[in-house]
Amino acid sequence: MAEGAPYTTQLQAGLGLIPETKTLLELWTPGMSTPELHQTALDSGRFPMVTARRLRNVVTECFAPRYLVDNGVPAIHLQRLVAAAGSAEVSQLMFLFTSRANSILGDFVREIYWERYAGGYTEISTEDARRFVERAIDDGKTSRRWAESTVRRISAYLTGCCADFGLLEGSGRSPRRIRPISIAPLAAAYLAHDLHFAGIPDNALLTHRDWALFGLNREDVLAQIKRLSMTSILMLQAAGDVVRISWKQPNMEAVLDVLTQG
């Protein structure tokens, strides 16, 4: 989702959905439409406890906006990485794509989650999320004002989604304990190259808002790039505020080859 796009209630269709996403990645093939994926998932018998209507919502409101954008590039990349990467690394990439598709989640993590962690807080409550949602509505970040029941549900979904991706403890009780994640080297390498091939200049790449999903500022990102430069995937040259990165791989396909080879 583009920066500045209105907040939506799409999270109510599904939170992290990590196991469901992995199953759908196994069933999806490039070129398959969203309705075709829904029918394939329905026919597969892989979702025996899910109604046809619920499965349609998962596919159309969650999986498709997160992973089938840009002609399915996120899904194609994840299909390759799921088999070779660890579960925590895959979860971090799913968190990245989910936050891009749901800007309300990304902003909540950047503006509330990491700010509270930096402030020494150990917990985040549904009430914290509720205040964030109410302020967003007042600031015009939704296309229209949400009903009280919607505000209540979305507030709970924000903390629940953070729990699914490992940022908060899994207990449904409020408040939930903060469990700060450290970006995995594979996720850092993927994100750096994803931004590079999207046309982001090297210096701007270091301050891109996607890094803040993992609590990283410019200096933190530079440190991540320095670690990656110790491998064969890129080379860093830094002199003061000027940063130049030599990207050794010609495209994301080549990057994925390197990442999946370990």
**pLDDT by residue (tens digit) across 177-190?**
999 999 999 999 99
pTM equals 0.95
Of the pLDDT bands very low, low, confident and very high (cuts 50, 70, 90), residue 4 is low
The pLDDT value given to residue 229: 94
Q: Which pLDDT value is given to residue 151?
A: 98
Phi, psi of 27 (to 5 degrees): -90, -25
Confidence of residue 172 (pLDDT cuts 50, 70, 90): confident
Q: What is the largest CA-CA distance in the chain?
A: 58
Residue 56 β-bridge partners = none
Q: Interhelix angle for 126-138 vs 148-164, to 10°?
A: 120
